[in-house]
Amino acid sequence: MATIEEALAIERLERDIFRGASTESQLPRTFGGQVAGQALVSAVRTVDRSFQVHSLHGYFLRPGNPEEPTVYLVERIRDGRSFCTRRVTGVQDGQAIFTMSASFHHGDEGPEHQDVMPSVDGPDDLPDASVTMTPERLWAMREWEHWDIRTVPQEQVVARDGAVSPQQVWFRYRHPLPDDPMFHVCTLAYMSDMTLLGSSKVIHPDEPTQNASLDHAMWFLRPFRADEWLLYDQSSPSAGFGRALTGGKIWDRAGNLVAAVVQEGLIRTPRHK
């Protein structure tokens, strides 16, 4: 399947118009992380390199066709001294399938603090997902064969008090990536959509549902590399009315909190004709 370089590849058609590549996929619709990642790459291409992306907020409006490229229209909302803002719309067949706002910051000095990383088994103590994946889920390993994903067994998950549906996942890209920090940010935007909605199924493992990402927000807090181990500490504080709220904190192996994610997803009982 596609490498992350292929999945995030875009070409510039006009000053603020880009086209994202379509890549080989087993999915019936374009993977949300790919759309978000390509949209972010498009926004990055319109911002001075002295700025770094610090947040994004996106909505998945329609399912994308994985066999068709997506065109990204970038609006330059603001270019300030400390912050820049871009709005990106992903379009297929004349219809918007995704919209995103991304904010970029020049960087400032200020107080610092962070939560403490959960105490969990390291990735070296956990089996690769290819070993633990059920036969009916092996397609996922083929789809994301370039990612090393290791889920902490549920009985070993360290959850904060009151968390009803926690999940913890170690992940990294299997191959060395370019040193460009912005490429790692866009790679994490791609990866952040993977496994997160699954936290809402932890306490409903046998209940059939239709699942899809509805919206997605990220904050990039500290430098990191996506080709080194990252811990995705996830939870789903609420599910109801066919939707689930999920969130996650992403830590590097040294215990630095590098990103935070919040997502609402569709998790409804299948509709029968």
Catalytically annotated residues:
193, 213, 263
* Nearest CA among 189, 185, 197 for reference residue 235: 197
242: left (phi over 0), alpha (psi -120 to 50) or beta: left
DSSP assignment letter at 47: S
Alpha carbons within 13 angstroms on the beta-carbon side of residue 37 total 27
Residue 119 tokens read as 């105490």
What are the distances in angstroms from CA 40 to CA 72, 164, 188, 272? 10, 32, 11, 37
CA distance linking residue 51 with residue 49, whole number of Å = 5
